[in-house]
Amino acid sequence: MSHGEIRADSEPARTRPRTRVELDAIPAYRAGAVAPEGAYKVSSNENPFPPLPGVVAAITDMASNVNRYPNFSSESLVAALAERHSMPPECIALGTGSVAVLAQTIAAVAAVGDEVVVPWRSFEAYPILVQLSGATLVKVALRSDFTHDIEAMARAITPTTRLLVVCTPNNPTGTVVTEAEITELIASVPSDVLIAIDEAYVEFVHESVRLPSLELVRAYENVMVLRTFSKAYGLAGLRVGYAVANPRIATALRKAQLPFGVSSLAERAALASLANEHELLRRVAILVDERERVLGELRAAGVEVVASQANFVWLPLADRASQFGQYLEERGIVARPFDGDGVRVTVAEPPANDAFVNAAIEFAR
Ligand SMILES: Cc1ncc(COP(=O)(O)O)c(C=O)c1O
C-alpha cells in the first residue's frame, strides 16, 4: 500500500481495528455549517462581538509561554469564579467548554446499565455524550409549547437513573424552566440522582425569570450548574466552561477531566473577561434588545416564533424546516435547520438580523 492510500471499507471486518458498537447509534455531530465568504453565520449561537477589552492583550501576553503546560488546576480562574459566585473554590470544576464538563459529569456518575434522562429536542451533544459513555439515553419530549415537561421527566426516573439534565434556556427552543418547576422537579427526584442544570445562555435571561440556581446548588447536594465562557463572554474558540457543584461532586468532575485541557490562553482570557463585567452587561443588553426586536417584527408580520430567553430564536416550521434552511442559505444566511422540527437562528449583528427577519417574512408569504 502506497502513502496516501486508505484501506477500503470492503476489507473483512475482523482484520480491521474494532470500534465500540455504541458508536453505531451515534450521529456524527453536525457543527454549525461553514458559512461561505460574505454570508451571515447564525448557526452556532456565537457572539457577534469581538473578545472583551483586555482579552486579546492577555492572550498575546501568554502566547510566548505555550511551550509550557498550563497550570494543572487553573487556580487563578477557579478562585475568580468562586469569588464571582460566592462559593468555595472546592465547588468549581473546569473543563474545555461546558460540553466537556458535561462529559466529565456523565463519566463521573453513569456507566453501562445506568440511565441518563435528557429533555428532547435539546442540545445536540446530549445524546452523543450519553451514548458514548455506554449509559442508556432516556429522552423526554418537550411539551407542545416547547418547554420542558417536568412531570414527564420526573416520571422517567427509574432505580437505574443516575443523571437528569435540564437545559434552560433550552437549546434550540429558547424556552426556560421556571423556579416553581425546578423546585417541583428537585422534590420529586430521589436525592441520589444528580440534576445538572445547563445554563449556557443564562446571561441572556431576564432577571425576573432567572433561576436561583446557585442557591439550589448550596441547598441540594444533587444539584449542579453548568456555565460557559463561549456564549455571552464570546470565548467559544478558546474552550472553557465550568460546573458549580457540591464539593464532592466537583471533586468527581475534576477526576474525570482530561489533564491540562484548559489552556493557559483560555484561563487568561476568561480572567480578563471576568474583569470586564460592565462591558459584558452592555453587550448582552444590546443582544437582548435585538432578540426582542427580531421576535416583535416576526410576530407583527404573522410569523410563528417561540418566545426566547437566549441569544437565538426558534421557528417551529415542522416539515418545512429544511426548506426554510435552504431558503435562508440562498440569501446568504447560514442558520441551523433541524429536519422535520424547526430552524434555530442566532441573534447576531443588526444587518444579519434584518436579513433573517426579511427572509422569514417573505418565506411565510
Ligand atoms: C445548551 C448548551 N450547553 C452547552 C453548550 C456547549 O458550550 P461550550 O462547550 O462551548 O461551553 C452549548 C453550545 O452550543 C449549548 O447550547
Residue 15 has pLDDT above 90, yes or no: no
Are 335 and 42 contacting, i.e. CB atoms less than 8 angstroms apart?
A: yes
* Residue 168 Cβ contacting ligand 1 at under 6 Å: no
* Residue 199 Cβ contacting ligand 1 at under 6 Å: no
Lowest mean pLDDT among 11-25, 57-71, 82-96, 167-181: 11-25
Pocket residue to mutate for ligand 1, from 98, 121, 229, most atoms within 8 A of Cβ: 98
Residue 140 binned pLDDT confidence (cut-offs 50, 70, 90): very high
* Residue 45 Cβ contacting ligand 1 at under 6 Å: yes
In what order do the strands lie in the sheet containing 136-141? 92-95, 241-244, 223-228, 194-198, 161-167, 115-120, 136-141
On the question of a cis peptide bond just before residue 127, with omega within 30 degrees of 0, the verdict is: no
* Residue 204 Cβ contacting ligand 1 at under 6 Å: no
More confident residue, 224 or 6: 224
Q: What is the pLDDT of residue 2?
A: 55
Q: What is the mean pLDDT of residues 342-358?
A: 98
Atom of ligand 1 nearest to the CA of 99: 9
CA atoms within 13 A on the CB side of 338: 19
Q: How many angstroms separate the alpha carbon of residue 51 from the centre of ligand 1? A: 18
Say how far apart CA 42 and CA 344 lie, in whole Å: 8
Q: What is the pLDDT of residue 238?
A: 97
Q: Helices (H), strands (E): how many in the chain?
A: 12, 12
